[in-house]
Amino acid sequence: MTRLNWGMIGGGEGSQIGPAHRLGAQADGNFVLAAGALDHDADKGRDYAQRLGVAADRAYGDWREMLAGERAREDRVDLVTVATPNSTHFEITKAFLEGGFNVLCEKPMTMSVEEGEEIVKIAAKSGKICAVNYCYSAYPMVREMREMVRTGQVGKIRLVVSNFSHGHHGDATDADNPRVRWRYDPAMAGVSGQFADCGIHALHMASFIAGDQVRSLSADFASTIPSRELEDDAMVNFRLEGGTVGRLWTSSVAIGRQHGFEIQVFGETGGMRWASEQPNQVYYTPVGGRTQIMEKGENGLSSEAERMTRVGIAHPEGFPLAVANIYVDLAAGIRGDVRDGLPTAEDGVRSMAAVHQAVASAKANGEWVDARPPMYR
């Protein structure tokens, strides 16, 4: 197998998500880090890239330099990961797609719905992959839940309840910390704080497992720390196209909750529950029956769950391995074997429409609004 050349923008030294991408991309030998513009500080970025093994002429000072440099090469990168702050995703993703590169963009894919629709169209026109890193969907037991829904094992889905609520911005005395403050500043974060940051993971997963798209929503937003312009807590009711009822709570002030991402799916003949803090188990209860704990790696799971399982039964399966699963499917796609389940630009723009419509709904006292991007109505 020939290794694919991989480039990274953002994810510099000390960044939060950079290490997960480096572990994820390189875990299986599919990708080798060949180029990068890793930091907003050009010198730091060049230096760090070289310490990670990137050749000096491919350790770039900024993404425009990288685009020009890579376009001119025969061995140009096969995939570019965009792991910079949100407001830069659109212009970087657009430029690399138009330059003929496959892209994995961090979430939220864009700041506006219009930008999101443009990315979907550019990706379609370019024939390149544009994936979005909804990495939690690549956990083996999340895939198992999706397969159980697909194969009718819990019947028609009546209700999906998803939470992504943590307490890490709950300390009002820390609200001015620059690493925290920007997330609630519209100039840096866009129209939404917590819903666009964490809520869209929960919304994507509800759609992903139920196998249906969000049609409408009603939102209640609150800035529980009053100095925050954007919401730090949101309750969003939604409906999927097929009528499934959705409930979503996302918060960053839920002190005592740690990662706080969990989902429950209730069908006509059974219910299931999964939580990111215990990602190896799904709790499954058939109607009228006892609750069973299904374990990653056990016999009898779907081939999709098996495909995503890296570490044998009883051993922990970590978050970077879910990111690694995203890269496995990207490598397969670049090599011409498109795999089911890779979150794409369509998922990215659907999230942006939900964010913008949730903001509109919250401002209109929770009025129900159409949550779909215009292009999918």
With binding defined as CB under 6 A, does residue 252 bind ligand NAI? no
Specify the residue, 15 or 126, whose C-beta has the smaller distance to ligand NAI.
15
- Residues in the interface with ligand NAI (CB under 6 A) total 23
In whole angstroms, the minimum distance from the beta carbon of 181 to ligand NAI comes to 12
Q: Which 48-77 residues touch ligand NAI, going by CB under 6 A?
A: 62-63
Specify the residue, 51 or 150, whose C-beta has the smaller distance to ligand NAI.
51
With binding defined as CB under 6 A, does residue 10 bind ligand NAI? yes
With binding defined as CB under 6 A, does residue 107 bind ligand NAI? yes
* Candidates 5-13, 229-237, 261-269, 343-351; binding stretch for ligand NAI (CB under 6 A): 5-13
With binding defined as CB under 6 A, does residue 289 bind ligand NAI? no
* Candidates 12-20, 23-31, 234-242, 287-295; binding stretch for ligand NAI (CB under 6 A): 12-20
Write the interaction track for ligand NAI spanning residues 109-148; mark x where CB under 6 A is met and - where it is not. Answer: ------------------------x-x-------------
Specify the residue, 105 or 369, whose C-beta has the smaller distance to ligand NAI.
105
With binding defined as CB under 6 A, does residue 85 bind ligand NAI? yes
AA identity, residue 225:
I
Sole residue written with tokens 């215009």: 374
With binding defined as CB under 6 A, does residue 231 bind ligand NAI? no
User: Nearest to ligand NAI by Cβ — which residue?
Assistant: 12
Task: Output the 3-class SS for the chain.
Answer: CCCEEEEEEECCCCCCCHHHHHHHHHCCCCEEEEEEECCCCHHHHHHHHHHCCCCHHHECCCHHHHHHHHHCCCCCCCEEEEECCHHHHHHHHHHHHHCCCEEEECCCCCCCHHHHHHHHHHHHHHCCCEEECCHHHHCHHHHHHHHHHHCCCCCCEEEEEEEEECCCCCCHHHCCCHHHHHHHCHHHHCCCCHHHHHHHHHHHHHHHHHCCCEEEEEEEEECCCCCCCCCCEEEEEEEECCCCEEEEEEECCCCCCCCCEEEEEEECCEEEEEECCEEEEEEEEECCCCCEEEECCCCCCCHHHHHHCCCCCCCCCCHHHHHHHHHHHHHHHHCCCCCCCCCEHHHHHHHHHHHHHHHHHHHCCCCCEECCCHHHC
Exactly one of 7, 39, 207, 343 binds ligand NAI (CB under 6 A); that residue is 39
In whole angstroms, the minimum distance from the beta carbon of 102 to ligand NAI comes to 18
With binding defined as CB under 6 A, does residue 260 bind ligand NAI? no
Looking at the DSSP bridge assignments, the partners of residue 5 are 32
In whole angstroms, the minimum distance from the beta carbon of 340 to ligand NAI comes to 20
In whole angstroms, the minimum distance from the beta carbon of 15 to ligand NAI comes to 3
Cα 31 to chain centroid distance, Å, stands at: 20
Exactly one of 81, 86, 102, 218 binds ligand NAI (CB under 6 A); that residue is 86
Binding site for ligand NAI (CB under 6 A): 9-12, 15-18, 37-40, 62-63, 83-86, 88, 106-107, 133, 135
